[in-house]
Amino acid sequence: MGKIKSAINIQTSVGFLEGCRMAEHNRHWLATHHQLQTITFHLLKTTAPEAITVSQLCAAAHINRSTFYAHYQDVFDLVDQTQASKRQELLSEFADTAKFQHHSFLDQTSLQEFLLFIRQNGWFYQIVLRTRNDFPIQEGFDQLYRLLIVPVKKRHPEISDDEALYYFVAFQSSFTMILRRWSENNYDLAPNKVATIIINSLPYLLHANLYSSRAQ
């Protein structure tokens, strides 16, 4: 009986130690994963994505190439994941502020606050917007869809889901291109003017539904 207990205790100890080693490995892996993104984020301030090299990143992170490739396929994969993580982080900060201040996004005040946020992180969004043709703020897609399309569907039940999505795509396209031009011109226009342009560029059906309902 004593031998059985000893064997069980040994197995338990081995399992515990193995669990600790695995947890430590996971912590180290995540730390390296995030460290590479942090290094990349700071490099992007002064270096074009295509000019960043694996050797440069490995030297900065004090890792070898095999460790790098255990985390990312290549530099462009790292840049994409870095941008996505930073976008999520920045948008979460803005969302917390907007929620606290009761912003609804598509009114003049909310848009101005959002555009100020974009300009404050201007260099980063210049990189994000440089090559994008789709909506650069995927984190807000569902909320904006509910804000713009759901009320239209209620007032115009004859419009199919597919047709409604075309209106939303039109909004996405104009919004993205306006932000891109603004960033390319180094955020020259005041945010309140850009907000007005975005509102006025809404497809007629969306604009009429959004602002006529607020006027009632």
pLDDT tens-place string over residues 141-158: 566 677 677 777 888 889
Same-domain check for residues 71 and 115: no
Terminal alpha carbon distance of the chain? 82
Please identify, among 28, 52, 82, the residue that sits at the C-terminal boundary of a domain.
Answer: 82
Convert the pLDDT of each residue in 69-118 to its tens digit. 999 999 999 998 998 888 777 777 766 665 545 555 567 887 888 888 88
Which pTM value belongs to this model?
Answer: 0.65
The closest of 193, 201, 196 to 177, measured between CA atoms, is 201
Token readout for 214 is 């607020």
What domain range is 160 assigned to? 103-216
Please identify, among 82, 112, 145, the residue that sits at the C-terminal boundary of a domain.
Answer: 82
Residue 167 in contact with residue 206, Cβ under 8 Å?
Answer: yes
Same-domain check for residues 67 and 151: no
Same-domain check for residues 62 and 144: no
The closest of 142, 124, 120, 136 to 179, measured between CA atoms, is 136
Token readout for 69 is 């490739």
User: Which CATH number belongs to the domain containing residue 69 in this structure?
Assistant: 1.10.357.10
